[in-house]
């Protein structure tokens, strides 16, 4: 996710803007840079910068102390501001829909696709959350201790030590399956 936000920062330095006075699109890199630095850059930077890792490294690698730092918690709130940027996408879609440059069928398809991805994400997260907090019968633990391959949760189907990305992809798969 942080990589996507970093790419967004780089792209914003190279994306033109509409001049309110003339109504023309300005692509001049110096004006674009100044406008971005005066606007959304600092919010984007603070939401992308790995504050938790920097504080943890500065405190000598004590993760518990770094997570309890108020600075980390406050800066993490800036990530919520990224959600406000989604409203800009909504305005953009409305503008293209009203201009007629984006056909209504394509707009409905894009909206449906994004909605399906969002619902799949929510279902996948809920599925993974229930697997984490699911109580496992004692017989599963006993059989597993004896070396018998037992599937008590769907997460047991994953290889031991699976990464968070693997768990996320698997939960999305099972949410859509």
Cβ atoms within 10 Å of 43's Cβ, excluding its own: 15
Cβ atoms within 10 Å of 171's Cβ, excluding its own: 24
pLDDT tens digits, 89-134: 677 667 766 676 767 788 788 888 888 988 888 888 888 887 777 7
Q: Which residues pair with 13 in a beta bridge?
A: none
* Buried/exposed 126-162: b ≥16 CB within 10 Å, e otherwise: ebbeebeeeeeeeeeeeeeeeeeebebeebeeeeeee
The arithmetic mean of pLDDT across residues 139-163, rounded, is 70
Q: What tokens were used for 32? A: 């674009």
**Given this model, what pLDDT does residue 5 score?**
75
| Percent of the chain as helix, strand, coil, to the nearest 5 | 70, 0, 25
User: pTM for the whole thing?
Assistant: 0.47
pLDDT tens digits, 28-49: 889 889 988 988 788 778 777 7
């Amino acid at each position: 996710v942080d990589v996507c936000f970093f790419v967004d920062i780089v792209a914003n330095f190279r994306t033109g803007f509409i001049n309110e006075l003339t109504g023309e699109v300005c692509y001049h890199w110096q004006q674009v840079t100044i406008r971005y630095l005066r606007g959304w850059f600092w919010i984007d930077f603070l939401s992308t910068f790995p504050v938790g890792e920097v504080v943890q490294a500065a405190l000598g690698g004590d993760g518990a102390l770094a997570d309890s730092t108020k600075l980390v918690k406050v800066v993490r709130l800036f990530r919520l501001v990224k959600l406000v940027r989604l409203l800009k996408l909504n305005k953009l879609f409305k503008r293209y829909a009203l201009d007629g440059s984006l056909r209504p069928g394509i707009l409905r398809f894009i909206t449906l696709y994004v909605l399906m991805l969002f619902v799949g994400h929510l279902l996948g997260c809920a599925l993974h959350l229930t697997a984490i907090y699911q109580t496992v019968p004692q017989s599963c633990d006993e059989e597993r201790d004896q070396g018998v391959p037992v599937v008590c949760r769907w997460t047991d189907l994953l290889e031991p030590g699976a990464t968070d990305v693997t768990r996320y992809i698997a939960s999305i798969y099972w949410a859509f399956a």
